[in-house]
A and B are shown apart, each in its own frame.
Chain A
Amino acid sequence: MTTVTIDKATRTPKVKYGSMSRDRAWALRWSYFFLVIFAIFFLTPPVYMLITSLKSSAEISAATNPWWVFHPTLENYTSLLTSNQFLRFFWNSAIVSIFVVTITMLISVPAAFALSRMRFWGSATLATGVFLTYLVPETLLFIPLFKMFAVIGDFTGIQLINRWYVLLILYPTLTVPFCTWIMIGYFASIPKELDEAAIIDGASWFQTLTRIFIPVALPGLIAATIFAFTVSWAQFLYPLVFTTSTDQLVMPVGIITTLIKGDVFNWGQIMTGALLGAAPPLIIYAFLMDYYIAGLTAGATKG
């Protein structure tokens, strides 16, 4: 490629062109070089998880080359996937995530519809409030929420602390604001003529939402669903604070509190657990990457 451009440059009087394309070729090479370095930096931990998960504990403690598996074995996977405790964590995580996604969508889609299309008193303030709520981190609220639920338990006898379903109340505070926010953006981008036509044809507001808005804004809906799922799957602080019994734990907390026993680290199993815990978001990401990225970038724009 370079030789061709050099030839061209020497033959034609337009030397400038030749040097520009040569610059481009070098820029391209440097780009690839640095991208490879960054890819190594970014992919080392997940790859290392995989490497370690295939090792037996004997091989790990032998302290041979950590970057290579000499005797690959699936014993970590079989022991985790046959352990009732681990399957319980997986089950809890799955149930919590699925319920939270459902709750989030049921709350945020109608709210986003109302906020983007049915202007009413205070709707603009509420939209701003939703965005501000999205910026409130969970680390600010976990202590008062913990105390609140303890007080509720004392007064009403409804035990919420140390039950997995308390997470169904807590996670929507993280997912609903963002999902509402990006759904407002997606709904606002739908042409007004569309819902006006529906209303003229005699559709009710509810029908306009389900028959027009949800189908048209489906990409946004998928992006919001993915976001809600990954957030509820990855959440660590709330389950750590609110659940303690091993049968109530979700994946991230379960792996960290049960596989790490005192000072004994069974790294083969920990890495296998971590990889299995990372698998559902990674699989979703692999198949729905464009929606995932659309959801990420939509958060910073106003509809």
Chain B
Amino acid sequence: MADVVLQPNRAATAKTARKRSSLHNALRRKSTVAFLMTLPLILLIALLVIYPAFYAIHLATLNKSMQRFIGLSNFEFLFKRETFWLVVKQSCIFAITAVIFKAVLGFIIAHFVHNIPARGQRKWRGMLLVPWVIPPAMSTLAWLWLFDPSYSAFNYTLGLFGAGPIPWTGDALWARFSVILVNIWVGAPFFMIMYLAALKSVPEQLYEAAAIDGANWWQRIWYVTLPMMRNIIAITTLFSLIVTFANFDIVRILTAGGPLDHTHIFATWAFRVGIEGSDIPLGASVSLFMVPILAIAAIFILRDVNKRGNEA
């Protein structure tokens, strides 16, 4: 352990024996101190993240009463259930649609905020980030009330224009739309803030050069802004993909998976099956299906973040 630390200092330490031993002791102490400082972190990650993750795999191979090993039967059972495939489909639709809209909306809003004079930007930025600050469980309640079947404020407003009442959370398609809409509402400000920070870091000279070359606004975005922001766009999108795919609060409060399981995603269905239905092994199996897509996204994020670290 100490050897590795010593490597770069070997030349310096070789000078005198006395110096070497004292330095050696100091460095040895340093690595011990460092280890002690990170010990709580290591314990936390090992006991409360890594261990439960593997425990989930173990749980997924047990029967409902958790007394018998049944191998992959839980997965076989899931594959045969129509609801499971519905959940897979809905999770993908939910995550992909929401992330695309969040990314596009965030990009557009960031541009508008970036366009206006600098002294007004703070105020607008502050206002537009509010959805991200409110706890999602609380703001989803407000949406639930806006979507209320009999007192919906949206339907009231639509009624003024003669449009019919919309079954926001009652009809399968509209319920999916509502869930995605709320997710976009919560997540778009995050994209806006990230893109705004990235936009500010694009050197003004590049735009001037592009303007001199006669580039129109579209070409400026396509050839200057997007390439400069590529990394932050990738990180933000992948990060949001993970969070959205694993979302729980919004769907749980807004529709609780209904109508007829048509808005369930992995997290809410795992909760329904595992906690409410007290079939913990089956619930664990359901939540394990999130792992592959999360792992892929995580690998790409890690690559991009490291790249970003090297750039800076």
Please give the residue numbers on chain A whose beta carbons come within 8 Å of chain B beta carbons, in ascending order. Answer: 27-28, 30-32, 34-35, 38-39, 41-46, 48-49, 52, 60-61, 63, 65-67, 106-108, 110-111, 113-115, 118-121, 123, 126, 128-133, 135-148, 169-170, 172-173, 176-177, 180, 205-206, 230, 233-234, 236-237, 240-241, 252-253, 255-256, 265, 267, 270-271, 274-275, 277-278, 281-282, 285-286, 289, 292-293, 296-297, 299-303
A259 nearest CB neighbor, chain B only: B141
Whether A41 pairs with B301 at a CB distance below 8 angstroms is: no
Distance to closest chain B CB from A181 (angstroms): 10
A144 contact from B52, B128, B271, Cβ within 8 A: B52
Q: Cβ of B271: which chain A residues have Cβ within 8 Å of it?
A: 142, 237, 240-241
Whether B52 pairs with A38 at a CB distance below 8 angstroms is: no
Distance to closest chain B CB from A261 (angstroms): 15
Q: Cβ of B66: which chain A residues have Cβ within 8 Å of it?
A: 147
Q: Cβ of B12: which chain A residues have Cβ within 8 Å of it?
A: none
Whether B52 pairs with A236 at a CB distance below 8 angstroms is: no
List 26 A–B pairs whose Cβ atoms lie within 8 Å, in order of A's numbering.
A28-B116, A34-B109, A35-B116, A35-B124, A35-B128, A44-B146, A45-B134, A48-B153, A60-B151, A66-B153, A111-B41, A114-B34, A123-B34, A132-B298, A138-B248, A141-B48, A141-B52, A147-B59, A170-B48, A173-B49, A230-B133, A253-B137, A267-B145, A281-B135, A282-B133, A301-B305
Specify which of A65, A180, A271, A300 lies most central, judged by the most chain B CB atoms within 10 Å of its CB.
A300
Q: Cβ of B298: which chain A residues have Cβ within 8 Å of it?
A: 132, 135
B249 nearest CB neighbor, chain A only: A236
Interface residues of B in 51-65 (CB under 8 A from A): 51-53, 55-56, 59
Distance to closest chain B CB from A44 (angstroms): 7
Tell whether B79 is near chain A: CB-to-CB under 8 Å.
no
Whether B287 pairs with A114 at a CB distance below 8 angstroms is: no
Tell whether B143 is near chain A: CB-to-CB under 8 Å.
yes
Contacts A32-B116, A281-B135 given; does A297 touch B193 at CB 8 Å: yes
Whether A267 pairs with B151 at a CB distance below 8 angstroms is: yes
Interface residues of B in 286-312 (CB under 8 A from A): 287-288, 290-291, 294, 297-298, 301-302, 305-306, 308-309, 312
Known: A49-B141, A143-B283, A300-B235. 5 other contacts (CB 8 A): A111-B40, A137-B290, A145-B48, A145-B52, A237-B271
Q: Mark B1-14, 1 if CB is under 8 A from A, else 0.
A: 10011000000000
Whether B30 pairs with A205 at a CB distance below 8 angstroms is: yes
Distance to closest chain B CB from A31 (angstroms): 4
Mostly helix, strand, loop or mixed at chain A's interface? helix
Q: Mark B111-145, 1 if CB is under 8 A from A, else 0.
A: 11101110000101111111111111111011101
A275 to B41, CA, bound (A): 35
Contacts A66-B156, A110-B37, A114-B33 given; does A255 touch B52 at CB 8 Å: no
A255 to B109, CA, bound (A): 33
A43 to B248, CA, bound (A): 22
Whether B141 pairs with A130 at a CB distance below 8 angstroms is: no
A301 to B56, CA, bound (A): 31
Whether A113 pairs with B194 at a CB distance below 8 angstroms is: no
Distance to closest chain B CB from A238 (angstroms): 10
Tell whether B87 is near chain A: CB-to-CB under 8 Å.
no
Whether A42 pairs with B185 at a CB distance below 8 angstroms is: yes
Whether A38 pairs with B128 at a CB distance below 8 angstroms is: yes
A49 to B243, CA, bound (A): 26
Q: Cβ of B128: which chain A residues have Cβ within 8 Å of it?
A: 35, 38-39, 42
Contacts A147-B55, A270-B145 given; does A35 touch B112 at CB 8 Å: yes
Q: Mark B224-249, 1 if CB is under 8 A from A, else 0.
A: 00000000100110010011001111
Q: Cβ of B185: which chain A residues have Cβ within 8 Å of it?
A: 41-42, 45
A255 to B148, CA, bound (A): 17
A170 to B49, CA, bound (A): 10
A135 contact from B55, B294, B312, Cβ within 8 A: B294
Whether B139 pairs with A46 at a CB distance below 8 angstroms is: yes
Whether A234 pairs with B49 at a CB distance below 8 angstroms is: no
Q: Cβ of A65: which chain B residues have Cβ within 8 Å of it?
A: 156
A111 to B8, CA, bound (A): 23
Contacts A146-B275, A297-B194 given; does A141 touch B134 at CB 8 Å: no
